[in-house]
C-alpha cells in the first residue's frame, strides 16, 4: 500500500499571528505527520530563514506568504487573502509591497489600541507590539491583550462585532488583488486564493471576480478550509474545475490563536506538484 502524503499549505508562525516560532512550527509539522508544509505568514517572509534552518529531515518546506489584498470592484471594497508560494523574496516590487503592508499594520494596530483606550480599555500599544515580537502585527495580538485584561476569554470572542470585528475595527491598506496576483507571478510565485468563501470574516467576492483573477494569473483556490461548509467546499471545487484552477486544502494553523490543528485539511499530491511546477522563484526545500 502506498504511503499517504500529507500536505498542509497554509501555516502561520510568530513571524505573523501564529504562536509557534518558525522552528517550533516545522517540528510540529513533523509531529503532526506532515510530509509537506508551507510557512505562509501574513505579509512577510520573516520566518523563512529560521524555518529553513530548523527544517527536520523528511519534511519538505514550501516557503510562502499570505498577502493582504482587497477587491475594489465593490463598494465598500472587500478584503481578501492570497497565498503566494515559492516567490523570489528579493524581487523588489513584491518585497516593497509586503514591507508597506507590514508598516501599515503597525499604524493600524496602534489606531485600534487608541480607540480602545479612548473607551477606557486598559491595554497599551507597547504590550500589543510586544506580543507581535517583531513579526507582522495583527488583530490576534490585540485580542491577546484583551484576554490578558480579562475582557474576553478567547481570540474568537475578541473578533465579535462589539470588539475587533466592528466596533473597534480599523481597515488595513491592502494591495489591489489584481496587482497582487501580477506581482506574485512577476516574482516567480504561485498565487492561490485563500479561504475564498470565509463569510465569518465578512463579505466574500463573487465567482465572476474569481474568473477575472484566473485570467490575470491566479493559479488555485483553497477550497478545503475550516471556514467553509461542505457545500462551499464543493462549490469552490466546481468553480476551480470550470476555471482550470487547482484545488488546495490547508489548516491555516495559528497555534493557540485558533483551535484548528496542523493537517486538519490537506492538499492532494497532484495539486501540490502543479503548484511546484508553476513556480520559478525559489525551490521547495527537502
Ligand atoms: P488582521 O490580519 O489583523 O486583520 O487579523 C485577522 C487575522 O485574525 C486572520 O489572520 C485570522 O486568521 C485571525 N483570526 C483569529 N480568529 C478570528 C476570527 N474569529 N475572525 C477573523 N479572524 C480571526
Ligand atoms: Fe492570521
Ligand atoms: Fe487568511
Ligand atoms: Zn492564514
Going by pLDDT thresholds of 50, 70 and 90, the confidence category of residue 3 is confident
CB count within 10 Å of CB 57 equals 6
| pLDDT at position 69 over 90 | yes
Among all bound ligands, the one having the nearest atom to the CA of 81 is 3
Domain limits, the chain: 100-165
Q: Taking all residues of the chain, what is their mean pLDDT, rounded to a whole number? A: 97
Closest atom of ligand 1 relative to the 172 alpha carbon: 4
**Which tens digit of pLDDT belongs to each residue from 264-277?**
999 999 999 999 99
The CA distance from 88 to 231, in Å, is 36
For residues 180-195, average pLDDT? 98
**C-alpha cell at position 179:** 496587482
The pairs formed by 92-99 with CB atoms below 8 angstroms and a separation of 24 or more are 93/183, 93/186, 93/187, 94/183, 94/184, 94/186, 94/187, 94/189, 95/187, 97/67, 97/175, 97/179, 97/180, 97/183, 98/43, 98/44, 98/45, 98/65, 98/67
Bridge partners for 176 per DSSP: 70
Going by pLDDT thresholds of 50, 70 and 90, the confidence category of residue 4 is confident
* The domain over range 100-165 is classified in CATH as 1.10.10.10: no
- C-alpha dist (Å) from residue 70 to 74, 78, 85: 10, 5, 19
- Burial class of residue 36 in the structure, from the number of CB atoms within 10 Å of its CB (0-12 exposed, 13-18 middle, 19+ buried): buried
Give the pLDDT score at 2. Answer: 55
- Ligand 3 (single-atom ion) residues, CB below 5 Å: 81, 194
Q: Which residues line ligand 1 (CB under 6 A)?
A: 17, 42, 138-140, 155-156, 159, 200-201, 254, 257-258
Amino acid at each position: 500500500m502506498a504511503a499517504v502524503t500529507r500536505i498542509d499549505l497554509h501555516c502561520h508562525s510568530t513571524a505573523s499571528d501564529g504562536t509557534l516560532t518558525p522552528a517550533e512550527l516545522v517540528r510540529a509539522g513533523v509531529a503532526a505527520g506532515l510530509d509537506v508544509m508551507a510557512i505562509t505568514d501574513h505579509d512577510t517572509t520573516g520566518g523563512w530563514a529560521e524555518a529553513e534552518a530548523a527544517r527536520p529531515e523528511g519534511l519538505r518546506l514550501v516557503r510562502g506568504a499570505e498577502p493582504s489584498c482587497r477587491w475594489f470592484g465593490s463598494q465598500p471594497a472587500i478584503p481578501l487573502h492570497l497565498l503566494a508560494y515559492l516567490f523570489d523574496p528579493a524581487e523588489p516590487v513584491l518585497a516593497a509591497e509586503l514591507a508597506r503592508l507590514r508598516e501599515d499594520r503597525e499604524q493600524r494596530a496602534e489606531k485600534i489600541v487608541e480607540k480602545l483606550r479612548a473607551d477606557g480599555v486598559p491595554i497599551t500599544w507597547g504590550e500589543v507590539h510586544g506580543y507581535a515580537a517583531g513579526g507582522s502585527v495583527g488583530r490576534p495580538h490585540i485580542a491577546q491583550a484583551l484576554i490578558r485584561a480579562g475582557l474576553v476569554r478567547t481570540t474568537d470572542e475578541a473578533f465579535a462585532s462589539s470588539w475587533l470585528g466592528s466596533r473597534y475595527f480599523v481597515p488595513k491598506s491592502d494591495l489591489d488583488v489584481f496587482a497582487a496576483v501580477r506581482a506574485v507571478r512577476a516574482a516567480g510565485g504561485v498565487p492561490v486564493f485563500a479561504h475564498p468563501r470565509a463569510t465569518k470574516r465578512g463579505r466574500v467576492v463573487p465567482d465572476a471576480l474569481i474568473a477575472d483573477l484566473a485570467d490575470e494569473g491566479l493559479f488555485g483556490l483553497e477550497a478545503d478550509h475550516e471556514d467553509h461548509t461542505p457545500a462551499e467546499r464543493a462549490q469552490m471545487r466546481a468553480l476551480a474545475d470550470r476555471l482550470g484552477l487547482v484545488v488546495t486544502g490547508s489548516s491555516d494553523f495559528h497555534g493557540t490563536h485558533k483551535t484548528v490543528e496542523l493537517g486538519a485539511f490537506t492538499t492532494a499530491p497532484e495539486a501540490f506538484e502543479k503548484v511546484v511546477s508553476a513556480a520559478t522563484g525559489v525551490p521547495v526545500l527537502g
